[in-house]
Amino acid sequence: MSNFPIVIAGAACAGFLQGLTGFGFSLVSLSFWAWVLDPLLAATLAVFGGWVGQMLAAFTVRRKANWRHVLPFVLGGLAGLPLGLRVLPHLDPLLFKAFLGIVLAVWCPIMLVAPRLPRLTVGGRGADGCIGIVGGAMGAMGGFSGVIPTLWCTLRGFDRDTQRGVIQNFNLTMLTVTLVTYCATGVVTRDMLPSFAIVAPIVLVTSLLGGRVYVGVSDITFRRMVLGTLTASGIAMLVASVPKLL
Confidence of residue 51 (pLDDT cuts 50, 70, 90): very high
- How confident is the model at residue 233, as a pLDDT? 78
pLDDT digits (tens, 9 = 90+) for 86-127: 887 777 778 877 887 888 888 888 878 777 777 877 788 899
- How confident is the model at residue 222, as a pLDDT? 64
Confidence of residue 163 (pLDDT cuts 50, 70, 90): confident
205 pLDDT higher than 90 = yes
pLDDT digits (tens, 9 = 90+) for 10-34: 999 999 888 877 777 888 898 889 8
- How confident is the model at residue 65, as a pLDDT? 63
pLDDT (average), residues 64-82: 86
In SS3 terms, the chain reads as: CCCHHHHHHHHHHHHHHHHHHCCCHHHHHHHHHCCCCCHHHHHHHHHHHHHHHHHHHHHHCCCCCCHHHHHHHHHHHHHHHHHHHHHHHHCCHHHHHHHHHHHHHHHHHHHHHHHHCCCCCCCHHHHHHHHHHHHHHHHHCCCCCCHHHHHHHHHHCCCHHHHHHHHHHHHHHHHHHHHHHHHHHCCCCHHHHHHHHHHHHHHHHHHHHHHHHHHHCCHHHHHHHHHHHHHHHHHHHHHHHHHHHC
pLDDT (average), residues 175-183: 92
- How confident is the model at residue 216, as a pLDDT? 65
Residues of the chain above pLDDT 70, percent? 93
Which residues, including other chains, have CB under 8 Å from residue 187's CB and lie 6 or more apart? 40, 44, 88, 89, 181
- How confident is the model at residue 188, as a pLDDT? 92
pTM: predicted TM-score of the whole model, two decimal places: 0.81
- How confident is the model at residue 3, as a pLDDT? 81
Q: Pick the range with the lowest mean pLDDT from 125-129, 164-168, 202-206.
A: 164-168
